[in-house]
Structure 1
Amino acid sequence: MLIVTSENIANHKIIETKGPVFGITVRARGVGKDIVASFKGLLGGEISQYTEMLEDARKQAIDRMVENARLMGANAVTMMRFDSGEIGQNMSEIIAYGTAVVVEEA
């Protein structure tokens, strides 16, 4: 599955647009990670526990988006983007979205 953030794919022609496609995941921070993050927040610097959690969430959101695009009959996703938000005080949602298309090599 080709995934690009651009409207077009180099050396490919879009022959059919299937429509919008997305993948979503919601992650909750654990109490242990919050405590460790609070201490690191006092000292400054990267909070690797949250970075790892968000990287995993983005990968899962992309995987779900790709599966949805396949179910639609697409072989590529254009204009792929991420969005995120918070649900409550300790949950984050990550959404990967784009346009599912069928492409062929030009």
Structure 2
Amino acid sequence: MIISNTEGLPGREIQEVLGLVRGSTVRARNVGRDFFAGLKNIVGGEIEEYTKLQADAREQALQRMIQDAENLGADAVVNVRFTSSTISQGASEVLAYGTAVKLG
């Protein structure tokens, strides 16, 4: 599966647009991470626990988007984007979305 954040793929022709595909996950913080994050807020620096949490969430959302595209029989997903939103205090959704296409 080819994944691209551009509208097209150099050297490849889009034969058919199959439609919007997406994948999402909702992740919540946990007490252990919050404790270490609180310490980082005092001394400063990257909150690595949250960085890993967000990276894992993005990867899971991306894999779910790819599965959605595979279910449509796509060869690629173009114009891929990520977004996130707060669901509740301490929980957020990460969404990956793009356009599934068949290549010529």
TM-score, shorter chain, exceeding 0.5: yes
Residue aligning to 1:65? 65
What's the % identity of the aligned pairs?
47
Unaligned runs of 5+ in 1: none
Deviations 1:31-82 (A, max 9, x none): 1111110110111110000000100110100000000000011110000000
Q: Distance in 1 between matches of 2:48 and 2:30?
A: 14
Q: Distance in 2 between matches of 1:86 and 1:43?
A: 26
The alignment partner of 2:13 has SS state of strand
Unaligned runs of 5+ in 2: none
The alignment partner of 1:12 has SS state of coil
Range moving further from structure 2, 36-45 or 48-57? 36-45
Task: Give every structure 1 segment of 4 or more consecutive aligned residues whose post-TM-superposition deviation is greater than 2 Å.
Answer: none
TM-score, structure 2 length as denominator?
A: 0.97
What count of residue pairs does the alignment treat as equivalent? 104
What is the root-mean-square deviation in Å for CA atoms of aligned residues? Answer: 0.7
Residue aligning to 1:31? 31
TM-score, structure 1 length as denominator?
A: 0.95
